[in-house]
Structures are given as structure tokens and as C-alpha cells.
């Protein structure tokens, strides 16, 4: 039985005062929901998460990681630095990084490898644009994005990944994928993983992301291959984030 996992992706939002209120609200409202929960925050706030979340059920992590271990890479944050601040997770290949920073699937695979090598859990993101969906290319696009990662890692590492299906047309638009559309993509991604390792495919958590809210979370989470959510906008309000965790 796969555990459910809900991760808040704060993107480039927050400040120390607002984060403090948000994190205390989340911790205060968490009951024993039987789901895992984490926030992925801008790097400057990792220390704040460590100070406020250590010893609570809420894990934390970064939103991107360098493929390099250290050195002359201005602006980059290494996996070891994320670990230094107690991180558990790091997002790899979010569609905003693919779109605005030109990250290729090959680079995303190297980032996932760097994360794994430091003991972090990479949350590798996949998704098609609206044009790609309308052209009937969804499966080809997400399979190619996933395959780059599967080709780069050892079979024993497959079970250490978290995958996130985030259709680009659903991110920040209020247009959630229907539970059936999301389930079809998740089942397909799991089948792709199974070609590399059938046993690990049954255990790998596949999160859905894209305008998930307390109102639509329950139906999405009820799908057999949806193991949780990667939440953007709704992760910035404790009541909404808790509402989604509760829906699990």
C-alpha cells in the first residue's frame, strides 16, 4: 500500500513573517491523517523551515538543485547544501524551470541523480502543454520526460524517486485535470516505470499537481494511481493546504 504524500511548492513566494505564520498554522492543524506532508521552499527559507519544522511531521526541501557538487557555479544550490539544512525532498524539472530556464530532460535527469547521490528524494515533475495535449502527444511527451530519468539511474534507485504529473495547462490556471485525465496519465507513467522495474513501479508515489484545491482534492486522491498532490497556490494558505491533506 502506497502512502499518500502532499507537498506544497511555494514557488517564489513568502517572507519570514508570512512563512512563520503559515508553518505554525500547518503544524497546529495537522492531525494524524496518515499522509506524509512537506513544503518545498525558496532556498533562503530552508533555515527557517529547519528551525520551525524539526521534530514535527512536516518535512521540507528545495525547489531545484545543481548537478554540480561545489565550485564556481554562481547562483546554484548544491544537494549537499539542501541536506545541510535538513531537507528531505527537492523538486527536479518543474515545468516552470523547463520553460523559463530551458532545462532539458537530460539535465533534469542529472539533477535527480545529484539529489539521489546526497540522500535526497527527488520529486521529478512531468507534464504536457495544452498544445501537446490537443495534438494527441501527451503520452509521448511525458514518457520521454520520464525515460530520460529512468535511463540515467540504477534500477535500485527507481524506488527512491517521487514522480509528479503536472499538466502545464492546469498549473495556476484554475483548470484542474479531471480525475479520469489525471488517473490515465498516472497509470501510464506507472506502466513506463514498470518497464524498468515492475516491483518498484508498484511502490513509487506519483503526485498530481495543477490547481489542486480542498474542493477537488478528494476525487483526485481517490484515483488508484494518484498518491498525493504537489500543490502551488493552495499551499500558501494553511487552511487550504490542510484541507487538501484532510481530503487524503
Residues involved in catalysis = 94, 166
Burial degree of 196 (CB within 10 A; 0-12, 13-18, 19+): middle
Residue ranges in 127-186 that form contacts with ligand 13P under rule CB under 6 A: 166, 171-172
Task: Figure out which of the listed residues 159, 203, 233, 243 binds ligand 13P, where binding follows CB under 6 A.
Answer: 233
Name which position in 78, 121, 211, 216 contacts ligand 13P (CB under 6 A): 211
113 binding ligand 13P? (CB under 6 A): no
Secondary structure (3-state) at 151: helix
Contact 88, 38 (CB under 8 A): yes
231 binds ligand 13P (CB under 6 A): yes
Span from 75-83, 104-112, 184-192, 229-237 in contact with ligand 13P (CB under 6 A): 229-237
Three-state secondary-structure class, residue 55 = coil
Rounded CA-CA distance 32/8 in Å is 18
Collapsing DSSP to helix, strand or coil, 121 comes out as: strand
- Residues 72-91 contacting ligand 13P, CB under 6 A: none
Say how far apart CA 20 and CA 222 lie, in whole Å.
32
What is the Cα Rg of the chain in Å? 17
108 binds ligand 13P (CB under 6 A): no
Piece of the chain touching ligand 13P by CB under 6 A; list 12-20, 149-157, 198-206, 208-216 = 208-216
- Report the interface residues with ligand 13P, using CB under 6 A: 9, 94, 166, 171-172, 209-212, 230-234
Amino acid at each position: 500500500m502506497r502512502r499518500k504524500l502532499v507537498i506544497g511548492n511555494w514557488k517564489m513566494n513568502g517572507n519570514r513573517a508570512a512563512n512563520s505564520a503559515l508553518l505554525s498554522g500547518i503544524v497546529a492543524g495537522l492531525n494524524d491523517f496518515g499522509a506524509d506532508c512537506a513544503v518545498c521552499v525558496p532556498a533562503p527559507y530552508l533555515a527557517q523551515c529547519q528551525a520551525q519544522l524539526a521534530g514535527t511531521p512536516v518535512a521540507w526541501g528545495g525547489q531545484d538543485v545543481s548537478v554540480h557538487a561545489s565550485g564556481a557555479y554562481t547562483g546554484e544550490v548544491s544537494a549537499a547544501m539542501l541536506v545541510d539544512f535538513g531537507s528531505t525532498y527537492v523538486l527536479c524539472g518543474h515545468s516552470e524551470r523547463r520553460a523559463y530556464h530551458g532545462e532539458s530532460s537530460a539535465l533534469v535527469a542529472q539533477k535527480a541523480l545529484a539529489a539521489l547521490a546526497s540522500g535526497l528524494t527527488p520529486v521529478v515533475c512531468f507534464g504536457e502543454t495544452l498544445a501537446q495535449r490537443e495534438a494527441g502527444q501527451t503520452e509521448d511527451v511525458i514518457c520521454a520526460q520520464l525515460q530520460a530519468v529512468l535511463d540515467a539511474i540504477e534500477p535500485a534507485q527507481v524506488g527512491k524517486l517521487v514522480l509528479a504529473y503536472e499538466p502545464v495547462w492546469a498549473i495556476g490556471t484554475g483548470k484542474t485535470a479531471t480525475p479520469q485525465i489525471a488517473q490515465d496519465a498516472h497509470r501510464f507513467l506507472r506502466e513506463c516505470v514498470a518497464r524498468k522495474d515492475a516491483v518498484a513501479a508498484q511502490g513509487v508515489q506519483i503526485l498530481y499537481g495543477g490547481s489542486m484545491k480542498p474542493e477537488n482534492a478528494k476525487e483526485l486522491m481517490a484515483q488508484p494511481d494518484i498518491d498525493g498532490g504537489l500543490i502551488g497556490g493552495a499551499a500558501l494558505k494553511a487552511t487550504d493546504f490542510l484541507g487538501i491533506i484532510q481530503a487524503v
